[in-house]
Amino acid sequence: MTAHDYAWIRSSPLFRHALEAGYTLTLVRDVAPGAVLRVMEAEPQGVCTGVDPLIGRQYELLDATDYRDASFIAGAFTVPGESGDWTVVLRFDGGGMRPRFVEALSSKGGRAVVHSSNGGKPIDLFHWYEDGKLRTTFEWPTAREGSAPGTLNPVMREVGFDLSDDEGDTGAPVDTKAAVLALAERLTGVRVTEELLRDAEYQLGQVPEEPAEEWNKIVIDITDADGERFYKEVTR
């Protein structure tokens, strides 16, 4: 699979909505949809057939909370892939997948792959987790991070990424989002198609807003243009 095999995303109404509204697509090996949603601390919301009801439930949630709540609706279903079954988790609000969820879902020899866009003026991200650890992540393919940022270089080149830092490169442009989907397939064996996402039977769950972190101190440290410094610690 290469970026060419995912050229369909540019003529897909579903994927156009995903890019405009924001989306996160997560693939998890050998963890059933219900178990994935439990790890995500989701409250069960029944089952729906097709992606349109999933999108509709997300908008209903946003309307009910007047867009002020960061909770979201996730839909999950199972497909066969490399070395077992994979659960596909889809959400439409561009909030990404919380790292602690993916770490837990990929622990004990597991694997998880996540790609997302936050919509609008997008930040497009890719994450590959193995055995509970983030192996490779990037927004730009030439600026990779993680515990093994270079491991995927050969397969990234094969699917179409240009990993050179040469600004004068005149090679054919690559659709990086299509290349990300091809890379995800290489890591999972799951071919994502419009039909797969459009017609799946989704188990639904409402994932609550992440609680605010507790704090007991803040530090104000400001130096003005004349070199005068103001420093103060405020303790709760």
Look up residue 145 and give its two tokens: 């991070």
C-alpha triplet 73, 75, 81: angle, nearest 5°: 150
Spatial CB neighbours of 122, under 8 Å, sequence gap ≥ 6: 19, 22
Where do the domains of the chain lie? 3-235
Confidence (pTM): 0.86
Q: What is the pLDDT along the chain (236 residues), one digit of tens a residue?
A: 899 999 999 999 999 999 999 999 999 999 999 999 999 999 999 999 999 999 999 999 989 887 777 899 999 999 999 999 999 999 998 888 999 999 999 999 999 999 999 987 789 999 999 999 999 999 999 999 999 999 999 999 999 999 986 544 545 678 999 999 999 999 999 999 999 999 999 999 999 987 655 656 777 778 777 777 777 777 76
Per-residue confidence (pLDDT) for residue 218, from 0 to 100: 72
Per-residue confidence (pLDDT) for residue 170, from 0 to 100: 47
Q: How far apart are CA 145 and CA 186, in angstroms?
A: 19
- Residue 188: how many other CB atoms lie within 10 Å: 22
